[in-house]
Structures are given as structure tokens and as C-alpha cells.
């Protein structure tokens, strides 16, 4: 009976050892896991930058405090201005510059013969200008003389016409010595009166009517023989006053 109880299967010991080992490992892992979860996290500091440095940005593998760079390190040195090399001048541009220099050169002085010719031409030009001024002045003088002669001739014939009309007036009584009547008289080429219109009354109707009758009675009125001057007598504005005694 005892022999039967002491008998065990051959693999039972190995299985018991493996089971004990597995329980021991599981217990160790459980203890380590609990301790790892209760461990406080590592502390780190973060510095905020307004702008990234211009030189380089270094990414740290571990969260470590970043040192603030100095102003000298952040500021990037300015590159010195390098003067631009002069552009090569094209052959055509060189020719144009050379031509401009030639143009700016002082022109050659004229010789004695050329100077004498210029002086003679200038003197001739002044003589021609003086002659032209004298000719224009002479023409103006002649025109003025013709105008005066024409006015004088017209005035003489107007006086002749006015005198002939006044001679034919039958003077009414009680006419003031300063009375005057103005008529517009239209004449034909032979001196015949075509029309006589009173433009300004003398203030004495009887004198106005007597003057109008005298105008028609005095025809043909005297006219100049010059055809150009006779054209100025187609229409006359005559002021008739009483004949002085």
C-alpha cells in the first residue's frame, strides 16, 4: 500500500517546477508594473520663442532646456555692398559717343573773305529794311493826303448841295435862328433826289416841311465828277439850317 502511494508519474515534478517558475515570473512582472505606474514623470521646461533664430534650428532628442542665444548670434551680419562692374560699352555706343564729342567741338572760325561777305550782306539787309520803311511811310502819307483831299472835296460838294437847298426854302415866319432839320437824302447818279426822310425835326413843323420841299426843288443836286467819289453821294445825311441873312 505504501509502495503504491509513493509512486508518482514521472512528469509531475517537472510540471510542478514550471508552474512555480511561471508564477514567480508573473509575480515579478506584476510588482514591476505597479512600481512603474507609480513613478513620477520626468520634469522639463519649455521656452517660447517669438521668432526662430536665422542661423540654424537644432531639434533636441531629449526634452532639455534650450539656452537663449545672444543678440550678436541672432543678428545676421549684413553683406557688404559690392559695386557693380561697369558694363562693357558696345562698339556702336562708342561710335555715338565719339560723334557727340566731334559735334561739341568748336566750329572753325571763318576767314577774312567770309567775314567781309557777311558784313556786306548785313549792310545790304539794313539798306533794304530802311527802304521798305521809307516806302511804307510814303504810302501812309499818300493815303492820308488822299483821305484829306477826299474829305475836303466831299465837304465842298456837301456845302454846295446844302446851299442850293437852303436857297430854295420858302422860310415860314417865326423860325428860330438855331433851328435845324436833319434829312437822309437818297440820290441817283445824275443828282436826282430819289427820297428824302426827316430824321431829326427842328421843332418847327412848318420849317421841316419847307426844307423837304426845297430838297426836291433843288434837284438835280451838284455831284463830283470822280466816279469813286460820286459813289459816296448815293446816300447823304444833311443838316439844314436857316440861311443866315
Sheet holding 235-240, edge to edge: 193-200, 181-187, 235-240
**What is the number of structural domains in the chain?**
1
- How far apart, in whole angstroms, are the C-alpha atoms of residue 165 and residue 240? 8
Assign 20 a pLDDT band (cuts: 50, 70, 90): confident
Judge whether 4 lies within some domain: no
Residue 106 domain-assigned? Answer: no
User: Does a structural domain hold residue 181?
Assistant: yes
The answer to whether residue 165 sits within a structural domain is: yes
Tell me whether residue 212 is in a domain: yes
Where residue 179 sits, what CATH number does that domain have?
A: 3.30.1150.10
Q: What percent of the chain has pLDDT over 70?
A: 62
Domain holding 177, by residue range, is 144-240
- State how far the Cα of 186 lies from the Cα of 104, in Å rounded to an integer: 77
Beta pairing, strands 193-200 & 235-240: unpaired
Q: What is the mean pLDDT of residues 141-152?
A: 90
| pLDDT given for residue 83 in this prediction | 53
Q: Give the per-residue pLDDT at 162.
A: 92
Q: Is the pLDDT of residue 122 over 60?
A: yes
* pTM value > 0.75: no
191 within some domain: yes
Question: 235-240 and 181-187 as β-strands: parallel, antiparallel, unpaired?
Answer: antiparallel
15 found inside a domain = no
| Tens of pLDDT, residues 37-77 | 555 555 555 555 555 554 444 444 545 555 554 444 444 54
Asked, for residue 230, whether it belongs to a domain, the answer is yes
Amino acid at each position: 500500500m505504501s509502495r503504491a502511494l509513493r509512486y508518482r508519474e514521472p512528469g509531475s515534478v517537472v510540471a510542478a517546477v514550471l508552474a512555480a517558475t511561471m508564477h514567480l515570473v508573473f509575480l515579478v512582472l506584476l510588482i514591476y508594473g505597479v512600481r512603474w505606474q507609480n513613478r513620477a514623470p520626468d520634469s522639463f521646461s519649455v521656452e517660447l520663442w517669438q521668432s526662430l533664430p536665422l542661423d540654424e534650428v537644432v531639434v533636441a532628442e531629449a526634452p532639455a532646456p534650450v539656452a537663449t542665444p545672444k543678440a550678436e548670434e541672432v543678428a545676421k551680419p549684413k553683406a557688404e555692398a559690392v559695386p557693380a562692374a561697369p558694363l562693357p560699352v558696345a562698339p556702336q555706343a562708342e561710335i555715338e559717343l565719339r560723334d557727340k564729342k566731334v559735334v561739341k567741338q568748336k566750329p572753325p572760325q571763318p576767314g577774312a573773305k567770309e567775314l567781309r561777305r557777311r558784313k556786306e550782306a548785313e549792310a545790304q539787309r539794313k539798306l533794304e529794311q530802311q527802304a521798305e520803311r521809307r516806302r511804307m511811310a510814303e504810302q501812309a502819307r499818300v493815303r492820308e493826303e488822299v483821305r484829306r483831299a477826299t474829305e475836303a472835296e466831299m465837304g465842298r460838294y456837301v456845302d454846295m448841295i446844302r446851299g442850293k437847298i437852303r436857297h430854295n426854302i420858302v422860310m415860314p415866319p417865326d423860325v428860330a435862328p438855331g433851328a435845324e432839320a436833319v434829312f437822309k437824302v437818297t440820290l441817283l447818279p445824275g443828282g436826282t433826289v430819289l427820297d428824302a426822310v426827316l430824321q431829326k425835326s427842328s421843332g418847327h413843323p412848318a420849317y421841316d416841311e419847307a426844307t423837304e420841299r426845297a430838297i426836291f426843288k433843288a434837284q438835280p443836286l451838284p455831284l463830283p465828277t470822280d466816279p469813286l467819289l460820286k459813289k459816296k453821294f448815293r446816300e447823304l445825311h444833311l443838316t439844314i439850317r436857316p440861311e443866315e441873312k
